[in-house]
Chains A and B, each alone.
Chain A
Amino acid sequence: MEFKTQKGDLSRTLDLVLNIVPPKTTLPVLSNLLLDVKTDSICVVSTDLDTTVTTTLKGEVIREGMITLPARRLNEIIHHAGDDEIHFSLEDETVVRIVCGSTDCRLPGILEEEFPKIPSIQTKERLQLPAGMLRRMVAKTAFAVSKDETRPALNGIFWRIEPRRMEMVCTDGYRLARMERTGEFPVKGKKEFLVSPKALNQMAHLAEDSDEMVDIRVDNNYLVFSCAGTVVYSRLLEGPFPRYEQVIPKDNRKELITRRDRLMQSCRRVAIFSDSLTHQVQLSVKKNELVLKSNTPDVGEATDRVEAEYSEDEMDIGYNATYLADILKHIDGDMAKFRLDSPIKAGIIEPVEQEKDENYFCLLMPLRLAE
């Protein structure tokens, strides 16, 4: 195996594959990148077994061959390389000589047979979507994904595609974020799958330009994105995702509209005095006013007020301040709308003005206030 490449090209390639490399692993070869050099292409692969990324590297191939090299060390070498042209050559079975300007180094690797096989996918059906749209949908929902590993179904983004609409939903059981997009989607029937946020983020990373199209294929085990020469294979997560439609309240008729940034700031100020475990703040919903309160023994108490449009019954609702601020951060526009029912029912929070073809909202479960 022997090839020449440019520092800039290699650097961009490493950017695409490096964040899949697991920081700690019991399988040493996963810390390595696979270099697959053929007469007409140089392919670079990284995997954590659940997500695999393959991309191509521009370069001049001198001899075919394969080897795996430690990803982070390789990245350091390239980062500090003193010249643009870098020359790789396999010296014996596993040692790669890297020559760049005045530098001459030898980097031991691991045989390529130990590297996991790239998944093969059994489907003909493919779908193309603009990268920008996907990126936005992921950004609006992925924050609500559960980190509780005991509930794997909540660790992913639920993605449903139908001919006229598409949605992504995430929940951790205490809050939920849902983004729906209407349009024309070339699928037959209804497609549903549960994808790891890591893979979707990686995909969002691929396209430099929002208008670029991402090619999507899916079978029973893998979802595959490809865009601009890079392919992301993502193992689908085990469902089933909860039947979330059933928990979306339909009768939340008490509407409150307030300045989103004011409420977010107020929430953060009052949260300083909340319990470090529960982060509980109390929202007193009053005529044309929201009063936020928190009170923790030994910590202190705080009250803050925010103007709001509201004309229904007054009530006190407890929320986890971190969750509330998180949601407000993801709502677009100046004004946020709350649709409420009672202090123990889910509250709906959404932008007052939805973007074109979009329907976005978050659900937040209250904390039951102590008597």
Chain B
Amino acid sequence: MAQPVIHVLPELVASRIAAGEVVERPASVVKELIENALDAGATQIEIAVEESGIRAIRVADDGCGMGAEDARLAFERHATSKIESAEQLESLGTFGFRGEALPSIASVSDVTLLTSDGRGEGMEITLRGGNFESEGMRSRTRGTTIEVRNLFHNTPARRKFLKSEQAEERQIRRAVMAHAFAQVKVAFRYVKDGDELFRLPATDDLKARIAALYGHDFAATLVPVAGSEKGPVISGYVSNIDAHHGNRARQFFTVNARPVQQPLLAQAVTVAFRDVLPPKRFPALFLSVRIDPSYVDVNIHPTKREVRFSPERTVFSAVQSAVGRAIRSEGSVPSFWRETRPAGRHADRTSHLPTATGPALPLGGEGEGSAAWTYHPRTDADRRDGIRAQNVAAPGTAPGEGERWIDRLDLGNILQVGLTFLVAAGPRGIVVVDQHTAHERILFEEVRRAIAGSSGASQQLLLPETIETDPETITVVEEYAETIAAAGFALRPAGPRSVLLEAVPAGIRDAGPSVFLRDFLEGLREEGKGDRSKSRHVAATVACHGAVRAGDSLSPAERAGLFRRLARCEQPLRCPHGRPTFLNLTLGELARRFQRE
């Protein structure tokens, strides 16, 4: 009889395979250990790594710790204190629940656990490659220290696939920061190869924590997000529209305090920022979603990196509208106006910023009197022009509280420079507006409003045009018939490859009807998802074609009119493609230029 081919794997082998799912890289070890510490109710967590975690990872906390019996059990697979029955998976209140983390980690490294529940001495257990090696009593205050050494020493394949030391360390640091933003009441300390990289005191305020990590300059560019429509509660901060970044490194999401990487949430934010940021620029954000745990499935991935919502659309639109509101209230006011708000109110808003920690103290800069001024970092464009833009992330100072910012500009004497820029004197400097981008923004919002109120006037064509096109576009025409009509086009099919254009949106200035329609259909085909974006696209197309160009001469009345209409916009500081409409050269900047400091 032949030897049976199939056999049950020895437990150690099975553990190592399972470990592959949970423990992908040093950062996942760090994440699991931090979550254990948080589940144990820690108020202080210290993370130390050596050689990007390959040599050693040590996580120490002041949580509830374990007694001797529990400590031994902790390394058994699916041993957990966190849930008792399958039903509890429906409403998880803890990070862990699978009972996999410790055994998995232990199977691919050498682990020393020192823990104490505060009653008597602590228990120290040492394992090598998952095998029990020794145990003994050692003194320790309440809490747990786990040290993981020689990670992946017995799984060389895994080790080979690790990235560079720097890359692995960056991942670890990001994992620590993600938890630090999710749990501001817990103090974190992070030590890399013996150097303390950051120490974050416990706080009640997310912004203080962000400032402690990224500096006050950065924190000053943030605006608060808050919203609780239809269930999910959204809170946190996003960067203002001037302070965008080249990548998503400063985007952190938590769902019920669990850090997640969530394409869905990132997408919702992108949508909210869509017509105010230049292409390929990203906002910084620190967003927390709180939602009834029964609507979240965290058990779709062993590392719990992603979660699933049901229904997804609700969360998406809640995030989108909360973020949208935040940037509208902030982005609708030019910086000079934000800065000239009464000092008392201003002080209230900034007083919660801690001043003891953080690398820089940017408040009260440039000797500008009583208002607290903060300068945000230069954007690329600023740097190019050598102009330093000013900004204060004072939230919620929308116009409409009596005086409006536009009232302070000298609209009777607007200069037109190079047939492109309009220059007005403001209360604290000079305001420069790009006539094309500003007009685009105005038309964009007007057309969008018009479409929303479906009052898009339509110009009948004397000479209806037959437009040859491809079958795909014909499908688009059929699919978006209503939107196309709402925009003011009148189209009739005229064969499998052509349409007859009988009317166009009124007011297009300098493009022929067919050019305009082609642009429009092209846009629909590219981005026709969701009703909002359709009308948005119509608006952007009309705006671009109708807007005055650089080089058009404007009369003084037209110049003032442009400013006034701009002031009525929801988001006056950006054109629909994210280019700035507005530049503020402050008195401070002028003084610096004239070396009056």
The yes or no verdict on A and B being binding partners is: yes
Say whether A365 contacts B462, CB under 8 Å: yes
CB nearest neighbor in A for B490: A368
Q: Mark A295-306, 1 if CB is under 8 A from B, else 0.
A: 000100000000
A173 close to chain B: CB less than 8 A: yes
Contact residues in B for A102 (Cβ distance below 8 Å): none
Min C-beta distance of B361 to chain A, whole Å: 45
Q: A277-B546, A367-B460 are in contact. Are A148 and B512 (CB under 8 A)?
A: yes
Q: A150-B512, A150-B515, A277-B546 are in contact. Are A368 and B463 (CB under 8 A)?
A: no
Q: Mark A327-355, 1 if CB is under 8 A from B, else 0.
A: 00000000000000000111000000000
Say whether B454 contacts A368, CB under 8 Å: no
A371–B485 CA distance with the chains assembled, in angstroms? 12
Name the interface residues of B506-526: CB closer than 8 Å to any CB of A: 506-507, 510-513, 515
A173–B464 CA distance with the chains assembled, in angstroms? 8
Min C-beta distance of B508 to chain A, whole Å: 9
- Total contacting residues, chain B, CB less than 8 A: 25
A58–B507 CA distance with the chains assembled, in angstroms? 51
Say whether A244 contacts B457, CB under 8 Å: no
Say whether B506 contacts A365, CB under 8 Å: no
Q: Which of the residues A151, A344, A368 comes within 8 Å of B457, measured between beta carbons?
A: A368
Q: A150-B512, A151-B512, A298-B568 are in contact. Are A277 and B506 (CB under 8 A)?
A: yes
A320–B446 CA distance with the chains assembled, in angstroms? 18
Contact residues in B for A279 (Cβ distance below 8 Å): 507
CB nearest neighbor in A for B446: A277
A215 close to chain B: CB less than 8 A: no
Q: Which of the residues B460, B507, B510, B511 comes within 8 Å of A344, measured between beta carbons?
A: B460
Contact residues in B for A148 (Cβ distance below 8 Å): 510-512
Say whether B457 contacts A365, CB under 8 Å: no
Say whether A370 contacts B457, CB under 8 Å: yes
Say whether A247 contacts B458, CB under 8 Å: no
Contact residues in A for B561 (Cβ distance below 8 Å): 276
A279–B508 CA distance with the chains assembled, in angstroms? 11
Say whether A277 contacts B507, CB under 8 Å: yes
A29 close to chain B: CB less than 8 A: no
Q: Mark A146-183, 1 if CB is under 8 A from B, else 0.
A: 01101100000000000000000001011110000000
A369 close to chain B: CB less than 8 A: yes
Contact residues in A for B507 (Cβ distance below 8 Å): 275, 277-279
Min C-beta distance of B462 to chain A, whole Å: 5
Q: Which of the residues A150, A173, A176, A320 comes within 8 Å of B506, measured between beta carbons?
A: A320
Say whether A278 contacts B506, CB under 8 Å: yes
Say whether A367 contacts B506, CB under 8 Å: yes
Name the interface residues of B537-592: CB closer than 8 Å to any CB of A: 546, 561, 568
B459 close to chain A: CB less than 8 A: yes
Tell me whether chain B's interface is mostly helix, strand or loop, or mixed: mixed
Contact residues in A for B458 (Cβ distance below 8 Å): 367-368
B503 close to chain A: CB less than 8 A: yes
Say whether B455 contacts A370, CB under 8 Å: yes
Q: A151-B512, A277-B546 are in contact. Are A370 and B454 (CB under 8 A)?
A: yes
Say whether A171 contacts B503, CB under 8 Å: no
Contact residues in A for B446 (Cβ distance below 8 Å): 277
A280 close to chain B: CB less than 8 A: yes
Q: Mark B449-492, 1 if CB is under 8 A from A, else 0.
A: 00000111111111100000000000000000000000010100
Contact residues in A for B490 (Cβ distance below 8 Å): 368
A242 close to chain B: CB less than 8 A: yes
Contact residues in B for A276 (Cβ distance below 8 Å): 561
Say whether B459 contacts A365, CB under 8 Å: yes
B443 close to chain A: CB less than 8 A: yes
Min C-beta distance of B32 to chain A, whole Å: 58
Say whether A371 contacts B454, CB under 8 Å: yes
Min C-beta distance of B549 to chain A, whole Å: 13
Contact residues in B for A275 (Cβ distance below 8 Å): 457, 507
Say whether B462 contacts A346, CB under 8 Å: yes
Q: Mark B440-451, 1 if CB is under 8 A from A, else 0.
A: 000100100000
CB nearest neighbor in B for A365: B460
Min C-beta distance of B466 to chain A, whole Å: 11
A365–B506 CA distance with the chains assembled, in angstroms? 11
A366 close to chain B: CB less than 8 A: yes
A142 close to chain B: CB less than 8 A: no
Contact residues in A for B512 (Cβ distance below 8 Å): 148, 150-151, 173
Contact residues in A for B568 (Cβ distance below 8 Å): 298
Min C-beta distance of B418 to chain A, whole Å: 15
Say whether A363 contacts B460, CB under 8 Å: no
Say whether A247 contacts B457, CB under 8 Å: no
Say whether A280 contacts B460, CB under 8 Å: no
A150–B512 CA distance with the chains assembled, in angstroms? 6
Contact residues in B for A151 (Cβ distance below 8 Å): 512
A318 close to chain B: CB less than 8 A: yes
Min C-beta distance of B506 to chain A, whole Å: 4
Say whether A280 contacts B457, CB under 8 Å: yes
Q: A151-B512, A277-B506 are in contact. Are A318 and B463 (CB under 8 A)?
A: no
Contact residues in B for A147 (Cβ distance below 8 Å): 510
Say whether A370 contacts B461, CB under 8 Å: no
Name the interface residues of B494-514: CB closer than 8 Å to any CB of A: 503, 506-507, 510-513
Q: Which of B446, B458, B503, B546 has the most CB of A within 10 A?
A: B458
Name the interface residues of A163-220: CB closer than 8 Å to any CB of B: 171, 173-176
Q: Which of the residues A242, A277, A368 comes within 8 Å of B460, measured between beta carbons?
A: A368
Contact residues in A for B463 (Cβ distance below 8 Å): 171, 173, 242, 244, 247
Min C-beta distance of A326 to chain B, whole Å: 15
Say whether A369 contacts B457, CB under 8 Å: yes
Min C-beta distance of B356 to chain A, whole Å: 50
Say whether B443 contacts A277, CB under 8 Å: yes
Min C-beta distance of B246 to chain A, whole Å: 37
Say whether B511 contacts A367, CB under 8 Å: no
A298–B495 CA distance with the chains assembled, in angstroms? 43
Say whether A320 contacts B511, CB under 8 Å: no
Q: Mark A134-153, 1 if CB is under 8 A from B, else 0.
A: 00000000000001101100
Q: Mark A113-140, 1 if CB is under 8 A from B, else 0.
A: 0000000000000000000000000000
Contact residues in B for A242 (Cβ distance below 8 Å): 463
A276–B555 CA distance with the chains assembled, in angstroms? 14
Q: Mark A212-234, 1 if CB is under 8 A from B, else 0.
A: 00000000000000000000000
Q: A150-B512, A275-B507, A277-B546 are in contact. Are A173 and B462 (CB under 8 A)?
A: yes
Q: Which of B456, B458, B462, B488 has the most CB of A within 10 A?
A: B462
Q: A150-B511, A150-B515 are in contact. Are A367 and B462 (CB under 8 A)?
A: no
Say whether A370 contacts B456, CB under 8 Å: yes
Q: Which of A277, A279, A365 has the most CB of B within 10 A?
A: A277
Contact residues in A for B454 (Cβ distance below 8 Å): 370-371
Name the interface residues of A270-284: CB closer than 8 Å to any CB of B: 275-280
Contact residues in A for B443 (Cβ distance below 8 Å): 277
CB nearest neighbor in A for B456: A370
CB nearest neighbor in A for B465: A173
A368–B459 CA distance with the chains assembled, in angstroms? 6
A362–B118 CA distance with the chains assembled, in angstroms? 97
Q: A151-B512, A277-B506, A280-B506 are in contact. Are A173 and B546 (CB under 8 A)?
A: no
Q: Mark A235-254, 1 if CB is under 8 A from B, else 0.
A: 00000001010010000000
A242–B461 CA distance with the chains assembled, in angstroms? 13
Min C-beta distance of B440 to chain A, whole Å: 12
Q: Can you list 9 A-B pairs with a CB-CB distance of less than 8 A?
A: A150-B512, A174-B459, A175-B462, A176-B462, A277-B443, A346-B462, A363-B462, A367-B457, A370-B457
With A151-B512, A366-B460 known, 20 other A-B pairs at CB within 8 A are: A150-B515, A171-B463, A173-B461, A173-B513, A174-B461, A242-B463, A275-B507, A277-B443, A277-B546, A278-B506, A280-B457, A280-B506, A320-B459, A346-B460, A346-B462, A365-B462, A367-B458, A367-B506, A368-B490, A371-B454
Q: Which residues of B are in contact with A by a Cβ distance under 8 Å?
A: 443, 446, 454-463, 488, 490, 503, 506-507, 510-513, 515, 546, 561, 568
- Nearest 10 A/B pairs, CB to CB: A277-B507, A278-B506, A370-B455, A368-B458, A365-B460, A150-B512, A278-B507, A151-B512, A278-B457, A242-B463
